[in-house]
Amino acid sequence: LAKGAGKGDWKRYRPDLQTAMIERSALRQALHEAVEREQFVLHYQPIVDMPTGAVVGLEALVRWQHPERGLLGPYHFIELAEESGAIVGIGGWALREALHRFVRWQRDHPAAAPAYVSVNVSARQFRRPDFVGQVRAALDGTGAAPGALLLEITESLVLHDTEQVLADLRALRALGVRIAIDDFGTGYSSLSYLRHLPVDVLKIDKSFIDDIVTSDRQAALVTAIVTLARDLGLTVVAEGIEDAGQRATLNGMGCPYGQGYLFSKPVPPEAVPGTITAAELTAP
């Protein structure tokens, strides 16, 4: 079908690539408009106290309700959103939405409500000069207590830190907001570096948890992280716990908190109150 030869020729041989490029640019355009069109939703995954299974927090995870493609997970669009800058708008929306929901859960289920909501923040969003102001405005606008907010940032943000990043982290903590390093262990920060970092929580990446039962090496690494975190006064959350063996091993290591399919997959907001009860029921 390709007309003529020359520049256009490659299209004949790489129809998949061409389709991918067209799809990508269509997706980028749609992504750009998706916040205003209210096409995003947040699902929530419990973070539990490991010994009892009680829900202590909820992590907000964004999904895109695409008009033609259905519900898309972050895998399908986060990278593109980072690249195009759309993540700034998406992240700002996610912050306000998560706090808004959280305040309503606290109001409607005061006895069962978890202590905090955790919101992912991309490096690009964090580096905006008005980020701290946005967080303050979201707290003021929803009436959420600053202590009810945990912001999850990536190792790479703090690794390539500037004075500004450190100053903003301090300013957020001065507000009473807590900071977590997400996917800890997948970046290249040295453990000793943590000592100087104004953060509160380490979330150990799922890739360390996967083989924790069968690999002595992985188990040793996680033990080291848990021990060091405790010595530094940091809280630890193990990510991606899928089976009871992993939970038992982590319990043996004294890892205080966990998150994963064993307890619950991320669920839509309507299902959150039930999920909290269900996770508590899995407690020993």
CB of 217 vs Mg ion, minimal distance in Å: 20
**Other residues' Cβ atoms within 10 Å of the Cβ of residue 133:** 11
Out of ligand C2E, Mg ion, none, which partner does residue 260 contact, by CB within 5 to 8 A per kind?
ligand C2E
One of 96, 183, 260, 272 touching Mg ion (CB under 5 A): 183
Under 8 Å CB-to-CB from 143, ≥6 apart: which residues?
103
CB of 184 vs ligand C2E, minimal distance in Å: 10
Burial classification of residue 123, based on how many CB atoms lie within 10 Å of its CB (0-12 exposed, 13-18 middle, 19 or more buried): middle
Rounded-to-integer distance, Cα 34 and Cα 51, Å: 41
Q: Is 154 in the site for Mg ion (CB under 5 A)?
A: no
Rounded-to-integer distance, Cα 87 and Cα 94, Å: 10
Out of Mg ion, ligand C2E, none, which partner does residue 74 contact, by CB within 5 to 8 A per kind?
ligand C2E
Measured from the CB atom, is 9 or 33 closer to ligand C2E?
A: 33
Q: Is 240 in the site for ligand C2E (CB under 6 A)?
A: yes
**Beta-bridge mates of residue 60:** 44, 119
One of 148, 250, 260, 276 touching ligand C2E (CB under 6 A): 260
CB of 34 vs ligand C2E, minimal distance in Å: 13
One of 10, 13, 193, 261 touching ligand C2E (CB under 6 A): 261
Under 8 Å CB-to-CB from 146, ≥6 apart: which residues?
139, 175, 176, 177
Task: Tell me how far CA of residue 153 lies from CA of 90, 109, 116, 228, in angstroms.
Answer: 15, 29, 16, 20
Distance of CA 92 to the CA centre of its chain: 14
Q: Is 122 in the site for Mg ion (CB under 5 A)?
A: no
H-run or E-run covering 109: none
Measured from the CB atom, is 132 or 153 closer to Mg ion?
A: 153
Q: Is 246 in the site for ligand C2E (CB under 6 A)?
A: no
Q: Rule CB under 6 A: which residues touch ligand C2E?
A: 45, 61-62, 73-75, 78, 87, 91, 94, 120-122, 152, 182-183, 239-242, 259-261, 266
